Copies of this chain bind each other. A is one copy, B any other.
């Protein structure tokens, strides 16, 4: 037995909060030490928060982060730690500090810099090419960062050949639906392919459009999951590993048996660095029982939205939020998410009925507010609508009614809601879903007006699933059945229904997924079994409404590809592929 007690501090950092992040790191170093851990690992760029984006261009920001690292090093007595920070050696690097007993014993530079999807790391960092292995308390540990482990021939291979038994991989990996299974499969494969233990420490928390889901994991040399952290929750996960077991396992595999010490593989170099000659500790406190919180679908989407909302609101310094409640499913689910994220006492709803609002819409908003325990204001828009129509009557003389009169109502509501926001300091949550954002079925400066678009990346059909899921939680059935069952309508003119403008959502959503998230073209989507005219219409709606999305508030990414940093299309664009 060569036991090694590893702690993974899955913490919720805040971008730019060097002071706060450092305090939190020190706190968890103390916690891990109290639990007898040999080493505690923190997420990628834990000191700065992730992603710091163009803060990285400020030289003082880099210096300040280096000073914080010094403080952490000095603090980490009698334990080892792996801490993500920004290193500066000529250029800057996405780096991991390896700390042992108050000393900085090594620095690892991330070798593979993601520059796709939401990531722009080539914009900032130089890549590293060394993969050192640290001998700590008798165990050989290879450190690397996030993307490095996604590459089968990455630094881990050199580290393995240099004798690494345990890989400490630190991450800031954002959530999207299905990513958990994808990550597990990848890490299991890397662990069993290389015959070593992999610990995967992930960030948790919301940052602008991203939510990091935590769910740190450890896989053994057989590719078996031996522990994991909760999803969407800060947590210290401590686990006992047996390095001797790895050593013995590898003796039986001729490919893995050789241990070469200093290794060169192409441009990659792995050195073995002796950090502590001491063997494993002999006595340690017992580990507390843990039961990680792991969600199913659609529970994990719901949890992502709750955490993303809570962090965006609180990290921006707000306490209360304001939501326009139409009685429809979208504003209802946003209100429920907000109440779950912030407490019902911090959520204010405002009902703004018009001449076209149905009785049902008004009462559904009231029933929801009551069931949820949130405050509800009612401010009818008729007077302002009439005055605005009169104001415009001269200019509109002779023109047919069109979308202008519909949008005017949405924009009067925006004025009311933003006035309340400016008066009382409440952050406005908007309620548009991904199907609307994709097709432009929303009013710019109207229902799109606000600070944070909670369900911006949630297709309408998934909104219904979330509502049904939420009704199974406590307080149960908080979403009135009538809200789930009524036909979708914007109620901006008499007898208006979404299907007058859009294909039915069960048709629309798969077309949107294929076009927006999977880059399928017109022919391929038609081949999936959809009507040609419908597909053309949807593609044109998506392309022509890029300008609206460019002015949308940020919202939480929960799919493979969200609108925002994840999808960068020109506004001026004459291509649609048919």
Contact = CB atoms under 8 A, between A and B. Distances in A.
B312 A572 contact: yes
Interface string A12-30: 0011111010000000000
Contact of A391 (B207, B208, B416): B416
A379 B408 contact: no
B419 A404 contact: yes
Contact of A16 (B60, B120, B574): B574
B20 A574 contact: yes
B407 A568 contact: no
Contacts of A444: 418, 449
Contacts of A386: 387
A276 interface: no
A379 B392 contact: yes
B402 A17 contact: no
Contact of A384 (B391, B451, B551): B391
A574 B17 contact: yes
Contact of A445 (B60, B449, B577): B449
Given A388-B384, A408-B419, A570 B414 contact: no
A396 interface: yes
Contact of A423 (B18, B402, B573): B402
Contacts of A414: 411, 445
A64 B311 CA distance: 44
A57 to B, nearest CB: 5
A486 interface: no
A182 interface: no
Interface in A368-400: 377, 379-381, 383-384, 386-388, 390-392, 394-396, 399
A378 B215 CA distance: 59
A562 interface: no
A399 B424 contact: yes
B402 A379 contact: no
Contacts of A404: 419-420, 422-423
A15 B543 CA distance: 13
Contacts of A575: 15-18, 55, 58, 61, 64
Nearest to A55: B575
A528 to B, nearest CB: 15
A553 interface: yes
B315 A572 contact: yes
Interface in A174-216: 206-208
A383 B387 contact: yes
A207 B570 contact: yes
B395 A52 contact: no
Interface in A526-551: 547, 550-551
Max chain B C-beta neighbours (<10 A), residue from A55, A116, A207: A55
Given A311-B572, A383-B387, A416 B392 contact: yes
A498 interface: no
Given A568-B53, A572-B14, A574-B16, A419 B392 contact: yes
B422 A54 contact: no
A207 B571 CA distance: 8
Interface string A92-123: 00000000000000000000000110001011
Nearest to A415: B411
Contacts of A392: 379, 416, 419-420
Nearest to A515: B58
Contacts of A115: 115, 120, 122-123
A268 B73 CA distance: 44
A567 interface: yes
Given A419-B392, A423-B404, A208 B577 contact: no
Contacts of A55: 569-570, 573, 575
A262 B307 CA distance: 60
Interface string A118-153: 001011000000000000000000000000000000
A15 B570 contact: yes
A570 B418 contact: no
A418 B399 contact: no
A214 to B, nearest CB: 18
A11 to B, nearest CB: 15
Contacts of A64: 575, 577
A142 B424 CA distance: 65
A162 B55 CA distance: 43
A406 to B, nearest CB: 8
A335 to B, nearest CB: 18
Contacts of A377: 395
6 contacts: A14-B574, A54-B569, A384-B387, A399-B423, A404-B419, A407-B419
Q: Ordered nearest first, which 3 A-B pairs have the shortest CB separation?
A: A16-B575, A387-B387, A404-B422
